[in-house]
Structure 1
Amino acid sequence: MAEITLSNLTKRFGDTLALDNVSMTVPNGAFVVLLGPTGAGKTTTLRLVSGLDQPDAGGVSIGGVDVTRMTPAQRNVAMVFQQYSLYPHMTVRENLAFPLKSPLLRYDDAQIARKVGEVAEMLQIAHKLDNKATALSGGEMQRVSIGRALVRRPEVYLMDEPLSSLDAKLRADLRVELKNIQAQSGVPFLYVTHDQIEAMTMASHVGVLDHGRLVQFGTPREIYEDPVSVYAASRLGLPRINILPADLFAGAPSGARFIGLRPEQIRQGDGDESRVTRVEHLGDQTRLHLKFRNHDLITVTDAHSGLRSGDIVQITPDAPFYFDASGARVH
């Protein structure tokens, strides 16, 4: 196992500041998800850890060893890119086996065959082993790309939205499998995604990035229940947190400009009147879209709710978050 430490990492591309003095520790055996929109610095972070790019300032250490000036091969990391990168002239079997044929690993043919077979079964591509990579669908190609990383035993797995091209069922299956692999191997994962469900279900820690800055780092529960800003609060949770003017409700603290209400932070049955504009029955719960003093908000209620569009419900905040004019949390 290898702890990853990022120390004051800064990276520019021309006039663009892609990463701004980022410090973060990925603990031994952690599954760390980086969250943020396009341009936040997520992929740049992976490329600096992998050695594909060099920082303008700061450093990277893996397992206590400064690897900042080492090549990717010297770092012993495995990276899965958002766009699959396979050898098109090789079969699936050959693509999966290729990383294991390094003389440094010293695997014999039987060991290679066993590892390839195990990964192919897990990724549901065993029936494609003798197909050329060019004969695969996009989703199958990405599964092979993931498999090429998983057959190895690197010190670090780096994954850049590896499930984005897969269908919903396979994404759900592989979320479970990747989490199991990480837990069993103890190898740290640094994983980039836009998918909040992936972050909530897979991560032991989440790093929230905004324009190259790390704005919050903690467990998914910590960030969900104790966000430092409107931006951090908006990264996790579906439906998204409701952000409204703080003076819509009584009791806002001094300096508060906005109130943040997750769906479960809206108590029904007393308080101020709100009109139901839409009802979504989702099986295990019912999602209510409300109009409150000319503001839209979303909450959840009982799965068997009989509420309909046009009904009036009374609502009141329940342990809400407050934020100042800049979006920073007010306690």
Structure 2
Amino acid sequence: MAEVALKGVTKRFGAVSAVAGMDLTVPDGAFMVVLGPTGAGKTTTLRLVAGLERPDAGEVFIGGRRVTDETPAERDVAMVFQQYSLYPHLTVRENLAFPLKSPLLRTPPAEIARIVGETAEMLRIGHKLDNRATRLSGGEMQRVSIGRALVRRPAVYLMDEPLSSLDAKLRADLRVELKRIHAEIAATLIYVTHDQTEAMTMATHVGVLEAGRLAQVGGPREIYENPVSAHVAARLGQPRINLLPATLFGHGPDRAATIGLRPEHVALDPGGAEGAPAVVTRVERLGDQTRLHLDVAGHALVTLTDPHTDLKTGRAVAVRPRDPLWFDAAGARVT
């Protein structure tokens, strides 16, 4: 496997900078999730690593080798797309074997059979090898699509929101599978998504993009607990962080314009004695937890409480901040 490095990489489409001066290093063997909303430059970043786009400025390195001018085939990468990209008239076995039959690889038939069998077992689709792709469920088709990348044993795996078209249960199942597979193959893997749950549950490293620029890189827990900006803070966490006027609970630090409160960092007093007055506007019972939607002086706030709480809509309570994050008027962290 190999370290991936982008150094000063910029990619423009007309007047729009999809990626702007990006410096990013993905360590060898890392599971890097590139996280951001639609239009942040996630897919463009992945395509620049793959060689499907050429940077207008900057350099791309894989394993210490400059690959900026190399074709995708020369870079030794494998890419998994959001759509399944399977040959519908071929069986699972034939779909998995297809990349290995490339003239560039010249893989012997016995080796192809061995790799296909091992990959199918890893993906838990060994019993589906003789099924045509059209006779598979959505989750099975995406496993085959991932398998087509795995059989190559490339230097780097690239995945472009491969789970976004699946239903919630399949996404949850395949998140676990992808993390297990990454641990087994010890691969360098770059995965782009807008889904913060995927970043929190799968990544060893997270890079948060904002308008084509890398806002912060670090471990999921590090970014969750110590974001550099309100934008980064809002990318991780479910429910999302509450971003409220800094003076809502009293005076904050100098230059602070916004107070950021994770739902678990809101202290709740059902008796209404300690804290700012609030009113319950909605109660969401989720089994293992209950989310309370509150109105605090005209501002919406979400917090978590006992799953067996008897609080109801319209109830008056009091809330106060606990371990808040502070941001200035531009959204930068105030320490």
**TMscore range, shorter length:** over 0.9
**Which amino acid counterpart does residue 267 of structure 1 have in structure 2?**
A
Residue 284 (structure 2) pairs with residue 280 (structure 1): yes
- Correspondence for 2:47: 47
In structure 2, the partner of 1:201 is: 201
Task: Write the letter of the residue equivalent to 2:119.
Answer: V
Q: CA deviation at 1:176?
A: 1.6
How far apart are the structure 2 equivalents of 1:23 and 1:258?
29
Give the 3-state SS of the residue equivalent to 2:8 in structure 1. strand
Work out whether 1:323 is the aligned partner of 2:323.
no
Counterpart residue type for residue 74 of structure 1: E
Shift of 1:143: 2.6
1:236-292 Cα distance to aligned partner (Å, 9 max, x none): 000001111111111311111111111011112321221111111212211111111
SS in structure 2 at match of 1:260: strand
Residue 9 of structure 2: SS of its match in structure 1? strand
Q: Name the structure 1 match of 2:64.
A: 64
What TM-score, normalized to structure 1?
0.94
Partner of 2:268: 268
CA distance in 1, matches of 2:126, 2:223: 39
- Contact in 2 for aligned 1:81/1:161 (Cα 8 Å): yes
Sequence identity percentage = 68
Structure 1 partner of 2:150: 150
For 2:197, what is the secondary structure of its paired residue? helix
Q: How far apart are residue 222 of structure 1 and its match?
A: 1.2
In structure 2, what residue type is equivalent to 1:15?
A
Report deviation, 1:137.
5.0
Shift in Å at residue 183 of structure 1? 2.0
User: Shift of the alpha carbon at 1:163?
Assistant: 1.1
What pairs with 1:3-82 in structure 2 (closer than 5 Å)?
Answer: 3-82=3-82
Q: Is the 8 A contact 1:274 1:293 kept in 2?
A: yes
Gap runs ≥5 in structure 1 = none
The alignment's TM-score, normalised by the length of structure 2, stands at 0.93
How many Å separate the matches in 2 of 1:149 and 1:188?
Answer: 13
- What amino acid sits opposite 1:287 in the alignment? R
Separation in 2 of the partners of 1:14 and 1:251? Answer: 45
- 1:46-85 C-alpha deviation (Å, 9 max, x unpaired): 1010111110000110111111111111111110011222
1:144-293 equivalences under 5 Å are: 144-269=144-269, 270-293=274-297
In 2, the alpha carbon distance for the partners of 1:267 and 1:137 equals: 45
Q: Which amino acid aligns with 2:312?
A: R
Quote the Cα distance in structure 1 between the aligned partners of 2:113 and 2:310: 58
Name the residue aligned to 2:85. Answer: 85
- The CA RMSD over aligned residues, in Å, is 1.7
8 A Cα contact 2:139 2:170, kept in partner: no
Partners of 2:15 and 2:138 in 1: CA distance: 35
For structure 2, the 5+ residue unaligned runs are none
Check the 8 A contact 1:139/1:165 in 2, yes or no: no
What letter matches 1:20 in structure 2?
A
